[in-house]
Structure 1
Amino acid sequence: MTEEQKITIYADEREAQTPILQRLADLNVHLKVGSLEIGDFVIAGDVVVERKTATEFVASIMSGRLFNQAGKMQLKYRRVIFMIVGDLYTTGKPISKDAIEGALAWLTVVVGASVLNERNPRNSADQIYRLAKQAQDGLDQDAAFRRGKVPKGNEQSRYSIEGTLGVGPSLGLAILKHCRSTHGFVNASVEELLAIPGIGRKKAESIYESFRIEYQPEQGELGCSMFEDEPE
């Protein structure tokens, strides 16, 4: 398998302490490790995997962290996958079976997440590889790597640009070099976007239109004027 054909997976630096990364390296995965904004593995530009041991998963239900975390991932990624390693019902945590299954149902129905159960880290790594292969086969995309703390300057501008749907690290850098700033990118015309290497007509039009979509309030929603400060 050539370098260009390798499956690329972005992993959070916390996973460096687990045997999963070594197994993925053995599977010839192109690994990029850093501080992910949310999630443990980004396996495509819009697909994230959150891996938890059974004990961690149950603890996150009890603390309420699971629900906050899932909501953030739902906003950021089109597909959210929770991978649970181990048996949820033998953790020894003081939690009812109904509470566990209620959380699983909530993740599946409300969040729309996929929930997978794996026996051990090796099985987890193998499944992450298979998921990434399915997500990346036939797709010409660069998975977005959303970092945590970002220094000011070029990295901050690039981080903002990479937040655009369909823009990953390589294209984000090309855009910044061409447009010189986030402001220049957001205000670029379709023809100007077409001049950037890696952007075709369809993507240029999609990016241009995404910056010009006006917010449509939901039925019964209060307008922003209701929250404006009263004049002094």
Structure 2
Amino acid sequence: MYIYRVIVTTFDIMKDFLSGSKFYPLEIVIDDREPDAMLEYLLFYKNIIVRKERLLVGDYLIDSELIVERKTPSDFSASIKDGRFFKQAGKLAISKVPACLILEGRKREYKNLGFSKNAVQAILMSVSLIFKIPILRAKTQKDTVSIMLQSFKQLTKDKLADYKFHPRLKPKFKSQRTDKYLKQKIHILEGFPGIGADRAEYLLNHFGSLQHIFNAPESDLLSVIGIGKSTVQKMKVILNKVNFNDA
């Protein structure tokens, strides 16, 4: 699994959204089959933590709040011919996380796919009316990234008060020289989903010990730079999981 940390400028279209102090750094998971170019466009945004791994549903998972399926003309055509398209639409429809479909490319590109105009319209009507999945349009990969983030903003507009936004600065870990178990502590914390070396150091610098981290309430954990709600929830699930051996 690859983890990318971003500390660079934003596209103008999302500058206001991602620069306010009330927004929390977004966690975006990209399916590892997506092109590297999409990752590069995301890397233009600051305060986004990007992970690349295999997703079972969709191509992008934004902060555990929105699933995005991205289709180019060639992928749209191929997925219809091999039967993947409606299987993917079915998974999106039953997902507990809201989902949308982004058709990337110019409209004329969808006219030369070997399907009649009526057939394409019927397919898209099924997606929107039967599967109840919103369909969005984007001309380029860059547009797709902007539309994904705008969709997330629209979806979570009533929750934005809960989001915080901080610059991703390297933490100054005061006890690096005195704590001979620092590496072991960081290694333990890195075993939790969504926690890398930087986040582990933020947690240790804030709470001082593993025991204090594990016993901390969710609200205290969320006050730490770089720690999001989904990360905290996964940590708590793992810590509270009880395994019983068969008698």
When the two structures are superposed, what TM-score results if normalisation uses the length of structure 2? 0.56
1:105 equivalent among 100, 115, 125: 125
Q: CA–CA distance in 2 between the matches of 1:85 and 1:130? A: 15
Q: Match for residue 40 of structure 2? A: 22
Q: CA–CA distance in 2 between the matches of 1:120 and 1:130? A: 15
Q: Does the alignment pair 1:48 with 2:67?
A: yes
Which deviations, in whole Å up to 9, do the C-alpha atoms of 1:182-209 show, x marking residues without a partner?
x8xxxxxxxxxxxxxxxxxxxxxxxxxx
Give the 3 Å change call, closer, same or farther, for CA 65–82 of structure 1 in structure 2: same
Which deviations, in whole Å up to 9, do the C-alpha atoms of 1:142-177 show, x marking residues without a partner?
xxxxxxxxxxxx99xxxxxxxxxxx94431221221
Letter in 2 for 1:61: I
Q: Match for residue 224 of structure 1? A: none
1:34 equivalent among 53, 66, 72: 53
Displacement after TM superposition at 1:57 (Å): 1.0
| Structure 2 unpaired stretches of 5+ | 1-18, 164-190, 193-228
Q: CA–CA distance in 1 between the matches of 2:241 and 2:102? A: 39
Q: Secondary structure at the match of 2:50?
A: strand
Q: Secondary structure at the match of 1:127?
A: helix
Identity, % of aligned pairs? 23
| Structure 1 unpaired stretches of 5+ | 142-153, 156-166, 184-232
Q: Match for residue 100 of structure 2? A: 81
Displacement after TM superposition at 1:37 (Å): 1.4
The equivalences for 1:116-195 within 5 A come to 116-136=136-156, 138=159, 168-181=230-243
When the two structures are superposed, what TM-score results if normalisation uses the length of structure 1? 0.59
2:135 equivalent among 95, 115, 122: 115
Q: CA–CA distance in 2 between the matches of 1:116 and 1:172? A: 31
Q: Secondary structure at the match of 2:71?
A: strand
Q: CA–CA distance in 1 between the matches of 2:123 and 2:24? A: 38
Q: Match for residue 65 of structure 1? A: 84
Q: Match for residue 7 of structure 2? A: none
Letter in 1 for 2:31: D
Q: CA–CA distance in 2 between the matches of 1:65 and 1:83? A: 16
Q: CA–CA distance in 2 between the matches of 1:116 and 1:20? A: 17
Q: Secondary structure at the match of 1:50?
A: strand
Kept in 2: contact 1:47–1:77 (CA 8 A): no
